[in-house]
Amino acid sequence: MRAWRGVVEWTAGQRERFVWRDGRLEPLRVEARPAPVNYGCLPGTLNPADGAEVDAVWLGEPLAVGTVREGAPAALLHLHDGDHKVIFSVGPVQGAALQGLLAWFPPERGATVQDAHAAQAWLDELAAARPG
């Protein structure tokens, strides 16, 4: 399975959120609720559902904003609107962090977890559709 490089934009348990733009992090806003997981993106990818880089989440201990991680996807958080999130994890994709992530999304978004193969297939599909 292919490894992907991601950058953390929002640290688990924190309210201060950043955004990756033009190869650097910029402050975005202070959220009403803290992040349930480490949240970020996969630079150089494009999710047509929102026109932004593919969202990524890292389960586990808080990671500082700007942390760069490389690895194979562990799962895919599938949403009805197509704005899926690629899940990375050191161990099994389960437990309180995963439940917190699922609870973060309102029921109408239809958040479900699919396996690592579904995540890789979705990323491969996006890469193949991207021009250039």
The domain limits of the chain are 4-129
Helix (H) or strand (E) holding 103: helix 96-104
What is the reported pLDDT for 120? 96
What is the reported pLDDT for 91? 74
Q: Is the pLDDT of residue 116 over 90?
A: yes
What is the reported pLDDT for 128? 87
Helix (H) or strand (E) holding 17: strand 16-21
Q: What digits encode the pLDDT tens for the residues 10-65?
A: 999 999 999 999 899 999 999 999 999 999 999 999 999 999 999 999 999 999 99
The label of the residue with tokens 């929102």 reads 50
What is the reported pLDDT for 50? 93
List the strands of the sheet with 38-47, edge to edge.
68-71, 4-10, 38-47, 52-58, 85-88, 75-78, 112-115
Beta-sheet pairing, 68-71 with 4-10: antiparallel
Q: How far is 46 from 66, CA to CA, in rounded Å?
A: 19
What is the reported pLDDT for 132? 60
Q: What digits encode the pLDDT tens for the residues 89-109?
A: 977 777 888 898 999 999 999
Higher per-residue confidence, 7 vs 128: 7
The label of the residue with tokens 């996807």 reads 73
Q: What digits encode the pLDDT tens for the residues 71-83?
A: 999 999 999 999 9
pTM of the model: 0.93
Q: Yes or no: is domain 4-129 CATH 3.90.80.10? A: yes
Q: Is the pLDDT of residue 119 over 80?
A: yes
